[in-house]
């Protein structure tokens, strides 16, 4: 697999979507459509015709709807399943590799009224799932409990995807030196913003995953 490509800071919604998708595939501008792609990524007012978008969508292995933002508020997995999908269990090493790409996952927390699943921005530090939250929030209730953490990716354009499930105990990080180190190592800040200074660490006891390919 190609190495992760750095995302230039493009202008406009289309430019950001193009650059993000290109980076996800590990492609440079030179490997797609160098001059035209640079124009689209750097000019927020660019309005390519549908034929150009179809060509770019094919190169970037996605759909015109994804590039144009038409699927922003739609759930994943609306497209038809592939005619002959291949389902495989992922090795532990493969699961760890996918987890380490970072992003947003879902933490399943037991509460008095039943389990609750909420999204969190996370990082992987020393093999553990790390996320930052605020005291009293649902993610903070994970501390001291056995929890499940799940992350997945679905590619509607090609009817394929993968998921990884981590199960293990969660704890609040209280040591000042560890908190300081996590603040330096963490990949992302919580998207919801605000003061979220409570760090939670999930130690993986069981890591499983699966992939659906064509």
d(CA 190, CA 198): 11
Greater confidence (186 vs 175) lies with 175
Give the phi and the psi of residue 95 in degrees, each rounded to 5.
-65, -45
Greater confidence (19 vs 114) lies with 114
pLDDT tens-digit readout, 11-42: 457 777 788 788 777 777 676 666 677 777 77
d(CA 120, CA 133): 8
Predicted confidence at residue 8, as pLDDT, reads 47
Going by C-alpha positions, the residue among 126, 16, 28 that lies closest to residue 67 is 16
Predicted confidence at residue 11, as pLDDT, reads 45
Q: Has domain 86-213 been given CATH number 3.30.1490.20?
A: no
Greater confidence (196 vs 174) lies with 174
Residue % of the chain over a pLDDT of 70: 78
Domain boundaries, the chain: 12-68, 86-213
Confidence of residue 168 (pLDDT cuts 50, 70, 90): very high
For the ranges 25-34, 93-102, 105-114, 163-172, which has the lowest average pLDDT?
A: 25-34
Q: Quick one: 12-68 is in which CATH superfamily?
A: lambda repressor-like DNA-binding domains (1.10.260.40)
**What is the average pLDDT across 104-129?**
92
pTM greater than the 0.85 cutoff = no
Predicted confidence at residue 7, as pLDDT, reads 43
Predicted confidence at residue 143, as pLDDT, reads 94
Predicted confidence at residue 5, as pLDDT, reads 42
* Contact partners, residue 107, CB within 8 Å, separation at least 6: 117, 118, 119, 120, 131, 139, 142, 147, 148, 149, 202
């Amino acid at each position: 697999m190609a190495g992760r490509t750095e995302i230039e800071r493009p202008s406009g919604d289309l430019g950001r979507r193009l650059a993000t998708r290109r980076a996800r595939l590990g492609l440079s501008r030179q490997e797609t459509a160098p001059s035209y792609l640079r124009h689209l990524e750097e000019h927020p007012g660019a309005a390519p015709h549908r034929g150009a978008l179809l060509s770019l969508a094919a190169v970037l292995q996605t759909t015109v709807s994804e590039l144009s933002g038409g699927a922003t508020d739609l759930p994943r997995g609306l497209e038809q399943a592939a005619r002959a999908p291949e389902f495989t269990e992922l090795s532990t090493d493969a699961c760890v590799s996918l987890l380490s790409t970072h992003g947003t996952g879902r933490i399943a927390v037991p509460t008095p009224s039943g389990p609750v699943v909420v999204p969190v921005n996370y990082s992987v530090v020393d093999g553990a799932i790390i996320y930052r939250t605020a005291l009293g929030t649902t993610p903070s209730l994970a501390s001291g409990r056995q929890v499940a953490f799940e992350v997945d990716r679905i590619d509607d354009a090609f009817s394929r995807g993968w998921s990884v499930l981590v199960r293990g105990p969660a704890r609040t990080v209280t040591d000042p030196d560890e908190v300081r180190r996590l603040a330096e190592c963490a990949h992302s800040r919580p998207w919801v913003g605000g003061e979220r200074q409570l760090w939670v660490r999930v130690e993986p006891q069981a890591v499983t995953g699966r992939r659906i390919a064509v």
